Amino acid sequence: MSLLKYESQVREPLVDGSKTYHDVTEDICKPVEAAPSRLWWIGFIISVALLLFGVVSLYEEVVYGTGMWNLNKTIGWGWDITNFVWWVGIGHAGTLISAILLLFRQGWRTGVNRAAEAMTIFAVICAGQFPIWHMGRVWMAFFVMPYPNTRGPLWVNFNSPLLWDVFAISTYFTVSLLFWYSGLIPDMATLRDRAKKKWAKLFYGVASFGWTGSTKHWQRHESLSLVLAGLSTPLVLSVHTIVSFDFATSVIPGWHTTIFPPYFVAGAIFSGFAMVQTLMLVTRKVMHLEDYITISHIENMNKVIVLTGSIVGCAYLTELFMAWYSAVKYEQDIFFKYRIAGPYGWSYWLMMTCNVITPQLFWSKKLRRNIAFTFLMSVVVNIGMWFERFVIIVSSLYRDYLPSSWSVYYRPTIWEVGFYLGSFGLFFTCYFLFSKYFPVIAIAEIKHILKKSGESFKEAMDPLEEQTVEEFAHDHVHAH
Amino acid sequence: MSVKKFVVGCFDDEKTLFPAVKNSRKAGYKIHDVYTPFPVHGLDHAMGLRETSLHTAGFIYALTGTTTALSFMSWVFTKDWPMNIGGKPHLPLPAFIPIIFELTVLCSAVGMVLTFCYLSQLAPFVKKDHFHLRATDDLFVMPIEVTEKTNLEEVKSFLQSAGAVEVFEKEAETGWWVGRYDSDKKMFEKEEIVTA
């Protein structure tokens, strides 16, 4: 019966090696149960050190104000909002992989979805820091919530894209967390039932919520995953759309464009997949998970990168065309005098090189399947995407309508750079803890696809391939 | 919530599990549940479970979110504190769309997850009896409830002939209790009757 769960031989197996269910459990749980390696400690300590540097930088900012970041009246959004958009963008890949690819029935998502979702959550946590601390008087951050207050009550402005952002980011964070954790519960139960040490029994026991694997619970779990995927799909698209509204609904030349939502969403997926690649390539190597995150997984993600990179490139060119075609003097000046040329011209061309030109190399299958090249490209893409946000924000601000308020050059201070490095510290501290104490691959989901997409089951399909239609029908068609 | 006695059959392949489930139902055995390491499609139907209505609950939560957001923002901008923002309308529906959408998704997701946890009795520090530790690894575990009519040996030999790799008897608590997995405390300790 199970032989008839047929999958084409053209598709590469999603799980290499002839594995049984128990092998899958072993392979994924082993690194979690082993003591942390020296490499892990080094990485973890560096991350915590960066995080602490970020805390010191934030202390400076909170005590002395946002002026510590070199922001001025003209360039009011600098590295901080650039970093915010960059991290939010990175935080799009996880939910895209787990939600949209689930709806599209892309089996390969199972190898990478758990880690990608974790990455999403950590990236959104990092992103959230920037607008919050950018408020300056951060102790008043709760003013963004619509709560009955003693000032009237004076409500927040529901027409403001900045408030939409508050709702979008917090909803996205909550839903991603729920989606990720509901998927984790069965795998935590697997770890709980294997645990030998007392602390592990306690920790995984608490974290697995008393999961038993009952059929009824699985049935509800499947329904929950499917609906959460359905909800997350428009949510992913809405979040970066709303982030792009922060810019698009203003009247600043270079921001006031209608292509921003799709352009930002494509950019977000682009950078998110690049970050997934960066993390996955290291994780699979260090944790010996090459059988689960195979070259074909990497190639698939590279295909998404080349597609979204091309969409982003198309958007850049459209912007230039529309600036010229609109015949609006300010638009034309921003794009042709101050963006692709002028003191910030170098950042525009860096962005173009990293985001549009180099990803085109991924049209070559050989390069798509080359691990070292993929790793290099994943870093290049994220540098490019950081510069994209920097170009959009700073090059539109530094020379606006009034030449008297032009700001010649904006340089971040060590405290603004420190805040950015601190967000890396936060991100990697979380990721290191996750990869050590949580199953980085969705164990139950891998077992679910094992019998149709695992290598041994592909091989079992070989004799079927040799058969003629008559033989196949004779063997497998039963009269009902 | 009581302690019951079960005959537990453990299977290591779906191929043997499905006929076993079918035949035990045919034989009139009371399948308590089947514990599987991953969702086995079609098993719920084979066991005769009804479809879950969790998604309907999700839809209702979603509608709650939609109406909350829409009515609250409309109330604020038209009744509680109408503001003239550059002469724009007091009820700018298009500008409400993002928040309405976000709240719809938020309420649906949070509500569904809470309902899921409530229905399946899942929460931190919830402890349940497990029939086999490998039920979360590679075994499909099917406990059959023992009633006064059950012939123990017959059920055991049935499970063995159905292809179970392990068959054993076990008394288990069917409910849940507050407990930790690093200690063996049960909900009800069996009281030793001390006779003088």
Contact between B77 and A158 using a beta-carbon 8 Å cutoff? yes
Inter-residue long-range contacts of B130-135, CB under 8 Å, 24+ positions, other chains counted: B130/A193, B130/A212, B130/B35, B131/B6, B131/B8, B131/B35, B131/B170, B131/B172, B132/B8, B132/B10, B132/B35, B132/B166, B133/A193, B133/A194, B134/A193, B134/B10, B134/B37, B135/A193, B135/A212, B135/A213, B135/B10, B135/B35, B135/B36, B135/B37
When scoring B38, B106, B108, B176 by the number of chain A Cβ atoms within 10 A, the one with the most, hence best to mutate, is B38
Question: Does position A236 have pLDDT exceeding 70, yes or no?
Answer: yes
Q: Give the Cα separation of A217 and A234 in Å (integer).
A: 26
Q: What number is the average pLDDT over the span A384-411?
A: 87
- To the nearest whole Å, the CA of B169 is away from the closest chain A CA by 18
Q: Give the Cα separation of A242 and A264 in Å (integer).
A: 10
Domain boundary among B99, B119, B139: B119
String of DSSP letters for A156-209: P-TT-HHHHHHHHHHHHHHHHHHHHHHHHHHHHHHHHHH--SHHHHHHHHHHTT
Do residues B136 and B113 share a domain?
no
Q: How many CB pairs under 8 A join A and B?
A: 205
pTM: 0.91
Per-residue pLDDT band for A1 (boundaries 50, 70, 90) equals very low
Question: Does position A443 have pLDDT exceeding 80, yes or no?
Answer: yes
When scoring A158, A173, A457 by the number of chain B Cβ atoms within 10 A, the one with the most, hence best to mutate, is A158
Q: pLDDT by residue (tens digit) across A180-204?
A: 999 999 999 999 999 999 999 999 9
Residues 6+ apart with CB under 8 A from B101: A234, A238
Beta strand B3-11 pairing with B140-145 = antiparallel
> Chunked in runs of 10, what are the mean pLDDT values of chain B (196 residues)?
86 89 90 92 90 93 96 92 85 92 96 95 90 90 88 89 90 86 68 55
Q: Are A323 and A339 in contact (CB under 8 A)?
A: no
Per-residue pLDDT band for A448 (boundaries 50, 70, 90) equals confident
- To the nearest whole Å, the CA of A103 is away from the closest chain B CA by 16
Q: pLDDT by residue (tens digit) across A329-363?
A: 989 999 999 899 888 899 999 999 999 999 999 99
Q: pLDDT by residue (tens digit) across A13-69?
A: 788 777 888 888 988 999 898 888 898 999 999 999 999 999 999 999 999 988 888
Q: Are B143 and B4 in contact (CB under 8 A)?
A: no
Q: Give the Cα separation of A102 and A236 in Å (integer).
A: 14
Do residues B136 and B188 share a domain?
yes
CB proximity A193 to B under 8 Å: yes
Examine residue B39 and say whether the peptide bond preceding it is cis (omega within 30 degrees of 0). no
Do residues B67 and B23 share a domain?
no
Choose among B37, B101, B102: nearest Cβ to A444: B37
Contact between A220 and B52 using a beta-carbon 8 Å cutoff? yes
Residue B147 located in a structural domain: yes
Contact between B80 and A242 using a beta-carbon 8 Å cutoff? no
Chain B stretch 124-163, residues whose beta carbon is closer than 8 A to a beta carbon of chain A: 124-128, 130, 133-138, 141
Specify the number of domains making up chain B. 2
- Residue A198 with chain B: CB contacts under 8 Å: 182
Give me chain A's average pLDDT, please: 89
Residue B76 located in a structural domain: yes
CB proximity B57 to A under 8 Å: no
What would the two tokens of residue A376 be? Answer: 């290099």
- To the nearest whole Å, the CA of B155 is away from the closest chain A CA by 21
Residue B48 located in a structural domain: no
Choose among A174, A194, A212: nearest Cβ to B128: A212
Question: Does position A94 have pLDDT exceeding 90, yes or no?
Answer: no
Do residues B165 and B139 share a domain?
yes
- Residue B36 with chain A: CB contacts under 8 Å: 213, 215, 218
Chain A stretch 3-22, residues whose beta carbon is closer than 8 A to a beta carbon of chain B: 20-22
Do residues B92 and B58 share a domain?
yes
Contact between B102 and A171 using a beta-carbon 8 Å cutoff? yes
Domain span at B150: 3-35+130-195
Q: Give the Cα separation of A165 and B180 in Å (integer).
A: 40
Do residues B23 and B60 share a domain?
no
Question: Does position A7 have pLDDT exceeding 70, yes or no?
Answer: no
Residue B124 located in a structural domain: no
Domain boundary among B96, B119, B142: B119
Residue B10 located in a structural domain: yes
Q: What number is the average pLDDT over the span A229-234?
A: 91
The pLDDT, as a whole number, for residue A2 is 43
Do residues B28 and B85 share a domain?
no
Q: Give the Cα separation of A144 and A217 in Å (integer).
A: 38
Q: pLDDT by residue (tens digit) across A242-279?
A: 999 999 999 888 899 899 999 999 999 999 999 999 99
Q: Are B100 and B150 in contact (CB under 8 A)?
A: no
Choose among A189, A198, A220: nearest Cβ to B119: A220
Per-residue pLDDT band for A3 (boundaries 50, 70, 90) equals very low
Which CATH number goes with the domain that contains B162? 3.30.70.120
- Residue A157 with chain B: CB contacts under 8 Å: 85
Residue B177 located in a structural domain: yes
Burial of A439 (0-12, 13-18, 19+ CB in 10 A): buried
Q: Give the Cα separation of A357 and A246 in Å (integer).
A: 28
Do residues B65 and B106 share a domain?
yes
Domain boundary among B77, B95, B119: B119
Question: Does position A287 have pLDDT exceeding 70, yes or no?
Answer: yes
CB proximity A30 to B under 8 Å: no
Do residues B114 and B59 share a domain?
yes
Q: Give the Cα separation of A306 and A273 in Å (integer).
A: 10
Contact between B38 and A217 using a beta-carbon 8 Å cutoff? no
The pLDDT, as a whole number, for residue A214 is 93
Residue B23 located in a structural domain: yes
Q: Give the Cα separation of B30 and B47 in Å (integer).
A: 10
Residue B105 located in a structural domain: yes
Contact between B14 and A451 using a beta-carbon 8 Å cutoff? yes
Contact between A175 and B105 using a beta-carbon 8 Å cutoff? yes
Contact between A158 and B103 using a beta-carbon 8 Å cutoff? no
Choose among B105, B113, B122: nearest Cβ to A171: B105
- Residue A195 with chain B: CB contacts under 8 Å: 181
Choose among B15, B106, B120: nearest Cβ to A171: B106
Q: pLDDT by residue (tens digit) across A123-152?
A: 999 999 999 999 888 999 999 999 888 888
ipTM comes to 0.91
Do residues B26 and B79 share a domain?
no
Contact between B109 and A174 using a beta-carbon 8 Å cutoff? yes
Contact between B35 and A214 using a beta-carbon 8 Å cutoff? yes
CB proximity B20 to A under 8 Å: no
When scoring B34, B114, B142, B181 by the number of chain A Cβ atoms within 10 A, the one with the most, hence best to mutate, is B181
Do residues B63 and B14 share a domain?
no
- Residue A174 with chain B: CB contacts under 8 Å: 106, 109-110
Residues 6+ apart with CB under 8 A from A284: A290, A292, A293
